[in-house]
Amino acid sequence: MKYTRYILLLSCLLLGACSKFLDQAPQGVISGDDLDTPQNLEKMVVAAYASLGNDHYTAPYSNMWPYGNIRSGDAYKGGDGAGDISDFHFYETFSLNRVDNGSSDLLWFRLYVGIGRVNDALARLDKATESTFPQKTVRQAEMRFLRGHYYFLLKELFKYVPYIDEYVPKASYDTISNRTYTSDQLWTKIADDFTFAAAHLPDIQPEAGRTNKFAAKAYLAKTLLYQAYKQDDNNNVASIDATMLQQVNSLCDEVINAGKYQLSTDYANNFLSKTENGPESVFAIQYSKDDGTPKGRLDYGHALNYPMNQDYGCCGFHSPSYNLVNAFKTDNNGLPLFDTYNNVNVSKESDFLTNTFDPRLDHTVAIPGHPYKYDPAFIYQRSWARAPEVYGSYLSLKEVVLPTDPSFQKVPPFMSSSKNWTIIRFADVLLFKAEALIELGRPAEALPLINRIRERAGASTALLKQANGSFTSNYKIGIYQPGVNCTWTQDFARKALRWERRLEFAMEGSRFFDLVRWGIAADYLNAYFAVEKTRSAHLNDAAFKKGRDEYLPVPLNQINYSKGLYKQNTGW
């Protein structure tokens, strides 16, 4: 009995000691309230910015190349055939895409993770006072800019999405429908964030990565430009809102006249690490390496887009189409071959010297026999393409860097870099304004803006040379001269504007969304498939279904999560 009592007494003492030990606050854990200090509020804001570069090659959202380029006719998926990331092949062919496409679900999720970080920061900032945190309003404006960016991407991808802000409790997320707001109302919610940002951000920020007043005005102009094209329930453009176009014009003027931005003297400077954050960069994702983290803040969204040679290793995705390469051909006046550019395919190396081309071709497309990324001693070879018998031998250039570039970093088996990726360039602002003016019936005012872009392209040949000093291709580009080489009507100006957007921003992720905004995606892409499938058999099953394929379907996983609350997009 005494022995039993001793055991019981010892057990009680041990349990008491354990209880006291377990009641201690765990080390390395911070409570929610602890994050509301001025120092930690700054860290939460930085964490929200960090989400801009947290994408991955499985569902990238920095450069929207799987959704904006390979769905537009500008690019093939690339890689090692249709089964290599087959979800992207389904995007490219449209007819094979499904509601259970895992990459679409991952994309949706990652964008909402970014929104979640922004909303968390905004909720904490709302509790702060200006006296304890003088930067409160500026940081709120930065966060609302970022939220506008994420929702803009979701809107152009999926059309109808649940809108969640910092005032919605997390427990109520599954009660918010993706049809709470109409399509037009969603655009207004996005515009409201950019409007707030424009009103409260400074003209200049002390750090390059932070957004400013003019970036907000540029993004607001872009949002209103998209909203101006009013779509019906079947994704047809039913009308164009002139009042919104006038706002676009005014906002662009504010950015243009600020004196903060200008076109880079050489087009190449927009795609080189040594000239990043240059005069044309309005809003860019900032990447880094050797920054104290294990692998840096690298651009993983483009990690698959390097050639298959010993200097790189993998993986040959994002291959410019034959159609795109043909689109850079010019006529005797150096103007686009609007109606005949695709009649004869550029197929041999000698074709680049017997035809004339817009210089932006060799800034955009890696071509066999041409210097790769401006290095005359580093010549791109057909063998560097992953599957040339499937996707041809071209690869994309703007997002990559040379293996000798200081920003380059191997992340075996893939490649990456810390080169920034620009979301809005000053060239965008000029062409937003030109588009608004043309649709307002003022094409004459758009003419100098489009010519300004073309003049810069013509002056961007210094780096496009072979080792012997000769130009890599036969370049010829001219400006539009009404009464001399063109008749500058509204219809012609519209055609010129749309062509200019294609060449200026080729392979930068915007083309498909332009086609949808203009209401021409179905006609354009089905005409593209009719010819392109005769050149590349991987497109044999491709077909665009009007009234459905303008948007990705709401992912089935998300509909299941909402217990059927979310409604599927038209046609799906």
What's the pLDDT score for residue 11? 52
Q: Do residues 432 and 523 share a domain?
A: no
Q: Mean pLDDT, the chain, as a whole number?
A: 94
**Which residue shows structure tokens 């795109």?**
324
Does the pLDDT value for residue 244 go beyond 80? yes
Average pLDDT over residues 28-50: 84
Does the pLDDT value for residue 388 go beyond 90? yes
Decide which of 509, 525, 558 is a domain's last residue.
509
Average pLDDT over residues 71-91: 97
Average pLDDT over residues 36-53: 93
Decide which of 489, 509, 529 is a domain's last residue.
509
CATH of the domain at 333: 1.25.40.390
The gap between the terminal CA atoms of the chain, to the nearest Å, is 77
Residue 453 in any domain: the answer is yes
Question: Which residue in 392, 473, 490 sits closest to 79, CA to CA?
Answer: 392
Q: Do residues 395 and 500 share a domain?
A: yes
Q: Do residues 504 and 517 share a domain?
A: no
Q: Do residues 294 and 201 share a domain?
A: no
Dist. CA 204–CA 202, nearest whole Å: 5
Degrees to nearest 5, angle at CA 13 with 9 and 14: 115
What's the pLDDT score for residue 19? 46
Residue 461 in any domain: the answer is yes
Q: Do residues 299 and 428 share a domain?
A: yes
Q: 500-518 pLDDT, tens per residue? A: 999 999 999 999 999 999 9
Residue 254 in any domain: the answer is no
Q: Do residues 222 and 338 share a domain?
A: no
**By three-state DSSP, how is residue 292 classified?**
coil
Q: Do residues 497 and 474 share a domain?
A: yes
Residue 405 in any domain: the answer is yes
Q: 412-461 pLDDT, tens per residue? A: 889 999 999 999 999 999 999 999 999 999 999 999 999 999 999 999 99
Residue 281 in any domain: the answer is yes
What's the pLDDT score for residue 26? 60
What's the pLDDT score for residue 32? 72
- Number of domains, the chain: 2
Domain of 494, in residue numbers: 261-509
Decide which of 490, 509, 528 is a domain's last residue.
509
Q: Tell me how long the chain is.
A: 572
Does the pLDDT value for residue 15 go beyond 90? no
Average pLDDT over residues 159-182: 96
Q: Between these two residues, 202 and 313, which has the higher pLDDT value? A: 202
Q: 299-348 pLDDT, tens per residue? A: 999 999 999 999 998 999 999 999 999 999 999 999 999 999 999 999 89
Residue 434 in any domain: the answer is yes
Q: Do residues 231 and 124 share a domain?
A: yes
Q: Do residues 219 and 99 share a domain?
A: yes
Question: Using an 8 Å Cβ cutoff, are 239 and 550 in contact?
Answer: no
Average pLDDT over residues 288-298: 87
Residue 20 in any domain: the answer is no
Q: Do residues 268 and 405 share a domain?
A: yes
- Taking the CA of residue 120 as centre, how many other CA atoms within 13 Å lie in the half-sphere pointing to its CB? 22
Grade residue 18 by pLDDT with cuts at 50, 70 and 90: very low
Q: Do residues 567 and 451 share a domain?
A: no
Of the listed ranges 2-16, 91-105, 179-193, the one predicted with least confidence: 2-16
Grade residue 566 by pLDDT with cuts at 50, 70 and 90: very high
Of the listed ranges 33-47, 325-339, 370-384, 430-444, the one predicted with least confidence: 33-47
Number of helices and strands (H, E) in the chain? 18, 14
Average pLDDT over residues 276-286: 97
Q: Do residues 191 and 308 share a domain?
A: no
Between helices 136-158 and 213-228, what is the axis angle to 10°?
Answer: 30
Q: Between these two residues, 32 and 526, which has the higher pLDDT value? A: 526
Residue 1 in any domain: the answer is no
